Amino acid sequence: MTDMQHPLDIRDQIMLGSYDITKQLIQQHADQLLELIDNGHTDAISIAIQAKYLTEVLEATKERIRELVCDELHKYAKGEECTKHGATFALKEAGVSYDYSGCGDPTWNEFNETLAFLKEKMKEREKFLRSIKEPMTIVDQSTGEIITIHAPIKRSTSTYAISWKK
C-alpha cells in the first residue's frame, strides 16, 4: 500500500475532480494500479483494457473539451492564467504552421521539387537495402571505390494490440 492512509480511487479523481492533482498523486495512482497486479487483485490485461478504454474516451472528447476550456478561460479568466485543482491553465498558440506553396518563390519551389525527388529516391534505395540478405560488394560509380554494403539493422519492440467489438 502507498503511504496515503486512504488512497483516492482514480475514478474519484476523474469524476469528482475535487482534489488537487499533482505529479506525485499521478505517480501514486500508477503505483496503486501496478500493486493491484502484483498482489493478484487484477491482471495486466484487464488494466490494459481499462487504460485503452479511458484513453479512447478522452481522445474522443479532447477537441470539444479544448474548445470549451478556451471559451471558459476567455470568459472567466479574461485570457489570464488560472489554477484549478492544482492545475494551471494558460491560453497559448500552438501548432503554428506555414504553407509556402502559394508564395510564388521559384527558389522554394525548386527546393521543394528537389526534396520530393530525393525522398522518392531514398524510398527506392531503402527498399533495395531491405532486400539484401548477405553483405554485397559494389563499386561506387561516382568514385570507383569498392564498398561492401549490408542489410539495414532491423529494430522492433514487442507490444500488443487491443481491438474492440463493433
At 18 the pLDDT is: 63
At 108 the pLDDT is: 97
The rounded distance, in Å, linking the Cα atoms of 112 and 101 is: 9
At 14 the pLDDT is: 59
For 49, residues 6+ apart whose C-beta sits below 8 A from its C-beta are 162
The rounded distance, in Å, linking the Cα atoms of 151 and 134 is: 7
The rounded distance, in Å, linking the Cα atoms of 125 and 31 is: 46
At 3 the pLDDT is: 44
Q: CA quadruple 113, 116, 117, 118: dihedral positive or negative? A: positive
User: pLDDT tens per residue, the chain (166 residues)?
Assistant: 444 444 555 555 555 556 788 888 889 989 998 999 999 999 999 999 999 998 998 999 999 999 999 999 988 888 788 888 888 999 988 889 999 999 999 999 999 999 999 999 999 999 999 999 999 999 999 999 999 999 999 999 999 888 888 8
pTM of the model: 0.63
